[in-house]
Amino acid sequence: MADTVIRAAEVARKTNETDIKLSFAVDGTGSAELETDVPFLNHMLDLFTKHGHFDLKVKAVGDVDIDDHHTVEDIGICLGQALREALGDKRGIRRYASVFVPMDDALAQVVIDLSNRPHFEYRAQYPSSQVGSFTTELVHEFLWKLAIEARMNLHVIVHYGLNTHHMIEAVFKALGRALDEATSIDPRVQGVPSTKGVL
């Protein structure tokens, strides 16, 4: 892939529940501009962006007076769509990644195949159902929608942890690092990294 190719995309999604504008650059500097009504998600997306060396802008308004579900879900959808569009035919990428990230007491693992065959596996048991006002089950919702829309095979395992915040933080850091590795260009790869000739 030539150095001049810009791997970036913008996505807008407006429903009766949310209004989202998102831009994502694979080859970024770790810059995040996040305006959502879900502070904990802002924090996690900031970590994801920094550790993945991406650039991410999100402006999202949602029906958080009901709960955070629709906003978190729809941001996952938009980010997945932007990632898929930014990668195009995935020519030259490494495709696979497996990353462990510790966060104090917690250890998370994220394994990725940018296969164009969406699948999601999630193994996590958190000590608490809430981190502040954020419901921990929404981590699953976000990652599931991200995997589907990006058309990637995503496995997330939280091996252990005592602090729920630390456990989720380790997941988002590992996600950023794994996506950075899987999307990186390998000069040895000729064309698309598949014996099928297409992903």
Count of CB atoms within 10 A of residue 179's CB? 26
Low-confidence ranges of the chain (pLDDT < 50): 1-2
b/e code 67-103 from CB counts within 10 Å (16+ = b):
ebbbbbbbbbbbbbbbbbbbbeebebbbbebebebeb
**Residue 1's pLDDT is what?**
41
Place of tokens 């949602």: 62
Give the per-residue pLDDT at 190: 84
